[in-house]
């Protein structure tokens, strides 16, 4: 078979492990031809292809990012985008597509599947908000990075008697904030799932600093918002393409805390640091398992599905069940973050 391969949306550690697995399993086990598309769906539209070989994937396992490049582009949202996708796939004689991406890329994949193209998707996102899977490629590394940053911030916060606000990624779901907050011993975690009350935050910090501590760590997800009707009025700050502006909510929270408490308060925005660097063994293994499973699925005629991790087992989930859905942090994990404050 001639199988197309792309990575779309934001980059993350572990993508090259998945690419490597697709190529090795496709070529070595089944004798397929793997055609890579550069820069996600944009590469499919533009016909920007690269035949994948064993030489392409040598020594890529420990590398972050994606060797195929990526872009935030959805063909179904662009004039002529779907027609261009179909024309490229026909010209390249592509029989099936393996798409590695987050919610946007996988939603686009479901739209392409509606046009009769055989699709197998692989979930990746540091936000871990793809529905249908316990874990997405990139999340484990991002949590490790964020936790290490919080550990480092603890020492400087305590040395200077400061409140340190740490903003992490997570627009629709607070998986990084909650997990890194718990692992890093943060006093407060603000996540999109639970709108916060600044009055309660201020009361808590004042009590903590009077009673038994001279510093505090507040972790805030970029998509966190204050509760409607509370004393802090705020709307999410969006960029040109609808993305949340990094640092906007973190800066506002830090300013509110400093103004209302008088405590020396500083902001650290982790931003794209969470996306970069060497993938953890967990992400390398997960990417490898998903890549092998995706090729197996295509070969056996199981398409229009997504690989997913459920209870340590890799399974196939229909794209129609997960497209456009968000996996939120469960209430019990949010409760743990609150209890350990």
Q: Which residues make up each annotated binding site for Mg(2+)?
A: 103
283 is catalytic: no
Long-range contact list for 236-243, CB < 8 A, 24+ apart?
241/72, 243/171
Separation in Å, CA 329 to CA 48, 117, 131, 240, 272: 37, 33, 11, 28, 21
Tokens 């973190």 sit on residue: 250
CB atoms within 10 A of CB 148: 13
Provide the annotated binding site: 10, 72-73, 102-105, 125-127, 162, 169-171, 222, 266, 272-275
CA quadruple 29, 33, 36, 41: dihedral positive or negative? negative
d(CA 62, CA 16): 8
Radius of gyration of the chain (CA): 22
| Distance separating alpha carbons of residues 338 and 71, to the nearest angstrom | 37
Query: 46, 48, 83, 127: which one is catalytic?
Result: 127
Nearest Cα residue to 295 out of 129, 130, 131, 118: 118
Which run of H or of E encompasses 139? helix 139-160
Active site positions, annotated: 127
């Amino acid at each position: 078979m001639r199988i197309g391969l792309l990575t779309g949306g934001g980059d993350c550690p572990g993508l090259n492990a998945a690419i490597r697995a697709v190529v090795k399993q496709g070529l070595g086990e089944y004798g397929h031809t793997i055609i890579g598309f550069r820069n996600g769906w944009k590469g499919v539209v533009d016909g920007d292809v690269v035949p994948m070989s064993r030489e392409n994937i040598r020594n890529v396992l420990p590398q972050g990012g994606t060797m195929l490049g990526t872009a935030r582009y959805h063909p179904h949202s662009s004039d002529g985008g779907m027609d261009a996708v179909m024309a490229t796939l026909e010209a390249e004689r592509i029989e099936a597509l393996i798409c590695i991406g987050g919610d946007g890329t996988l939603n686009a994949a479901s739209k392409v599947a509606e046009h009769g193209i055989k699709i197998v998707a692989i979930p990746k996102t540091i936000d871990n908000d793809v529905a249908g899977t316990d874990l997405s490629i990139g999340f484990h590394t991002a949590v490790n990075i964020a936790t290490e940053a919080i550990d480092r911030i603890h020492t400087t916060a305590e040395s200077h008697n400061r409140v340190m606000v740490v903003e992490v990624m997570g627009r629709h779901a607070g998986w990084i904030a909650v997990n890194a907050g718990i692992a890093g011993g943060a006093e407060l975690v603000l996540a999109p799932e639970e709108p916060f009350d600044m009055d309660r935050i201020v009361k808590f910090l004042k009590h903590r600093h009077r009673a038994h501590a001279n510093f505090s760590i507040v972790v805030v997800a970029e998509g966190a918002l204050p509760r409607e009707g509370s004393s802090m009025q705020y709307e999410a700050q969006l960029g040109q393409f609808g993305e949340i502006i990094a640092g906007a909510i973190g800066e506002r929270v830090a300013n509110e805390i400093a103004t209302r408490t008088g405590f020396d308060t500083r902001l650290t925005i982790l931003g794209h640091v969470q996306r970069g660097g060497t993938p953890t063994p967990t992400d390398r293994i997960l990417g490898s398992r998903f890549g092998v499973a995706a090729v197996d699925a295509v070969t056996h005629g199981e398409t229009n599905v997504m690989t997913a991790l459920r209870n340590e087992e890799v399974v196939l989930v229909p794209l129609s069940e997960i497209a456009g859905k968000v996996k939120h942090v469960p209430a019990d994990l949010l409760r743990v973050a609150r209890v350990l404050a």
